[in-house]
Structure 1
Amino acid sequence: MRDEHFGVYGLVFNSDKTKLLLVKKTRGPYTDLYDLPGGTPEHEESNIQTLEREFIEELGVKPTIVSDWLKLDFIASKNSKGEAIDFHHKAVVCRCVIDQSKIKNIVAEDISGAAWVSINDHKLLSDLVREALNSNINWA
């Protein structure tokens, strides 16, 4: 049976748009990969409320949304170990800015901290990050 997940996520680029602020996953299909900060809405939360809560939980800072929402809907066929999976990932993603001086390196339920990761280092990036970057959206 296919696993399915919906989440709300934000892209935070560095100043020259060569790196993203990502969180390292400790469980799920993206274990040991870098993924977008964000997650599943709680009861009756809007996308904005979810994004703000998740950023505070994962990065210690509230985001400012600076783009429209992009809807993503894709199937991940391999997990981070290369094993076959059937994972349907639905997401809404937007570009955000944050006060970088307030970022905290948080270890939480499903992440082991955050890092600035090159957008070209595809082996380290989750399918979600790659799907967002490969969309036809100009994130500038």
Structure 2
Amino acid sequence: MQLSNLIIVMALILSFTCSAKSSIENELVNRVDELFLAQTSFDPVALDNLLADEFVEISPKGEFDTKPMVLEYYQAKNKTNFIPVIEKSLVNVNYVDNMAHITLKETFKTENSDTALFSMHAIFVLKRVAKEWKFTYAQYTPIVAKER
């Protein structure tokens, strides 16, 4: 009887641990979605709330951009009519304590189209500030189509 109780307790602990992990992973992936929305909407106020003060981005062109540079780029005056649909795939989330690392593939498409315009690999580093995850680093690497 004691062994069966121990097995039940262990199963409950494992279940709780897995659900807590999934909850944090979901929270982190949701932050990425918020970042994508702020970028495609050219919303510097939302970006300011998402990015840590020490935020650094390596752009798809290899440029080193600080938070003020990113906020300047995403001003409404720079917004274009093109609003891409961004699909995430190959999402990998790792975290320890108050730090997280996310890698994923972004595929950019136009609305109502299944044809990919281009894709990038993205790396994000986040830290928990108070009870909120903030981006401290982003790097975007374009995926070049292989010639056949």
Q: Which TM-score applies when normalising by structure 1?
A: 0.27
Identify which of structures 1 and 2 has the higher relative contact order when contacts are C-alpha pairs closer than 8 Å and 6+ apart: 1
Please tell me whether Structure 1 or Structure 2 has the larger radius of gyration of its CA atoms: 2
Q: Which TM-score applies when normalising by structure 2?
A: 0.26
